[in-house]
A = this chain, B = another copy of it.
Amino acid sequence: MSSMIRDSPLLGAEAPPPHKPCDVSRSMKGRAPVRADLSGSDLQVWSQPRLRTRPGPERPEEGSGMERVLRRCRIQNQLIRECLAECLGVFVLILFGCGSAAQVTTSEERSGQYLSINLGFALGVTFGVFVSRGVSGAHLNPAVSLSLCVLGRHPWMKLPFYVFFQLLGAFLAAATVGLQYYDAIRSYAGGQLTVTGPRATAGIFSTYPADYLSLWGGVVDQVIGTAALLLCLLALGDQRNGSIPDGLQPVLVGSLVLVIGVSMGSNCGYALNPARDLGPRLFTYIAGWGVDVFKAGGGWWWVPIVGPCAGALLGTLIYQLMVEVHHPPLPSECQASCEEASESKMELEAEPHLKSQC
């Protein structure tokens, strides 16, 4: 039983492992928590299990409607599913983030100010995490994926796939923002798309340094910013430093991005994320802003790629050395036998109703 749990890539999502005949005890693991979560949920009708609790007359038969058709498209490969989730997560992040920048810029601060941009990226991250957390773990940032690989918490072989789909999601989102604000940008920029100058619009999509900032200063800024990001992210994920109610973490990660934007944004726009910056930059390059998007700021474009990666590792190192490595050892570090035992006991806790049967 314990091995079965260990093999389930989806324990988080409270679902049983695929490709196995459904037996009662497993369906318990899958169902019980769902019910629990649903008591009084305001979104209850949006989740299948709740539906099955509706009165017979108005209760649609299993999987009726669109869902039934769509289920034919089901992909079972775990890696592909994770890549799609990362792609959609970053898409949401950039759609809201760059969208808020577009709104503030094209409305000339009548419909929001700098704080709105901070909120746009913060809540963009929050909902990007909600969209992907159960499937891919919601990295949404190559620098985060890199740190997790270095820490040994994420397989290296997945890294290139995650990074590519993060980039793709950012590119597609930038294109969507460009479409949604097409009229606005054209009327604001007076027809011509410029990277610098009074009516520059490239800043809507990717980051450019302030006039006073040296390249070296930009690298320092990106390193410090991303180090702060990882340092706090690891604290949020460190079970031995106090746990966090499920569903609050995406909000906290968003607040973290908010405070970084409020305290580290004016130098060069807190990219902190190679995908967030390069994806939209590629879009602007293609969509008419031209090669200036790479030339501007003295060839600034590489800083939001290299800086965050270095900063992420620095922040990880700091949190590890000052807090995490000093936690007393987890039982997981005992010999397997002990673990085996505990694992199987875990089962019992998860399914009290089976206890008597054991």
Contact of A246 with B88 at beta-carbon distance under 8 Å, contacts A131-B232, A152-B65, A214-B183 already known: no
* A187, A255, A342 interface centre (most CB from chain B within 10 Å): A342
Q: Are A7 and B41 in contact (CB under 8 A)?
A: no
Within 8 Å CB of A37, what residues of B?
239, 243-246
Count of residues in A whose CB is under 8 Å from the partner chain: 199
**Contact indicator per residue, chain A 9-53, by CB within 8 Å of chain B (1) or not (0):** 111111111100011101110111111011111111111111111
CB distance from A144 to the nearest CB of B (A): 9
CB distance from A329 to the nearest CB of B (A): 7
CB distance from A263 to the nearest CB of B (A): 3
Q: What are 25 residue pairs bridging A and B, where the CB atoms are less than 8 Å apart in the complex?
A: A6-B56, A11-B38, A12-B39, A12-B41, A22-B338, A27-B331, A27-B342, A40-B243, A42-B134, A46-B137, A47-B153, A51-B153, A60-B152, A66-B316, A95-B263, A100-B263, A103-B265, A120-B263, A135-B241, A183-B212, A184-B213, A242-B247, A243-B246, A345-B353, A352-B355
Q: Are B75 and A153 in contact (CB under 8 A)?
A: no
Q: Are B134 and A238 in contact (CB under 8 A)?
A: yes
User: Which of B13, B265, B325 lies in contact with A241, CB distance below 8 A?
Assistant: B13
CB distance from A260 to the nearest CB of B (A): 8
Q: Is residue A322 within 8 Å, beta carbon to beta carbon, of the partner chain?
A: yes
Q: Are B49 and A325 in contact (CB under 8 A)?
A: no
Q: Is residue A295 within 8 Å, beta carbon to beta carbon, of the partner chain?
A: no
Contact of A342 with B259 at beta-carbon distance under 8 Å, contacts A8-B53, A331-B22 already known: no
A84–B320 CA distance with the chains assembled, in angstroms:
11
Q: Is residue A149 within 8 Å, beta carbon to beta carbon, of the partner chain?
A: yes
A259–B95 CA distance with the chains assembled, in angstroms:
10
A72–B79 CA distance with the chains assembled, in angstroms:
34
- The residues in A between 93 and 145 inclusive whose CB is less than 8 angstroms from any CB of B are 95-100, 102-103, 106-107, 110-116, 118-120, 123-124, 126-127, 129-135, 137-139
CB distance from A148 to the nearest CB of B (A): 6
Prevailing SS type, chain A contact patch: helix
Shortest Cβ distance from A110 into B: residue: B114
Q: Are B154 and A217 in contact (CB under 8 A)?
A: no
A110–B151 CA distance with the chains assembled, in angstroms:
39
**Contact indicator per residue, chain A 75-96, by CB within 8 Å of chain B (1) or not (0):** 1101001001101100010011
Q: Are A130 and B242 in contact (CB under 8 A)?
A: yes
Q: Are A246 and B238 in contact (CB under 8 A)?
A: no
Stretch at the interface among A173-181, A286-294, A297-305: A173-181
User: Which of B54, B81, B124, B130 lies in contact with A236, CB distance below 8 A?
Assistant: B130
Q: Are B242 and A12 in contact (CB under 8 A)?
A: yes
A151–B265 CA distance with the chains assembled, in angstroms:
41
Within 8 Å CB of A352, what residues of B?
349, 352-353, 355
Contact of A74 with B243 at beta-carbon distance under 8 Å, contacts A150-B65, A214-B183, A330-B15 already known: no
**Contact indicator per residue, chain A 243-275, by CB within 8 Å of chain B (1) or not (0):** 111111111110110111011111100000000
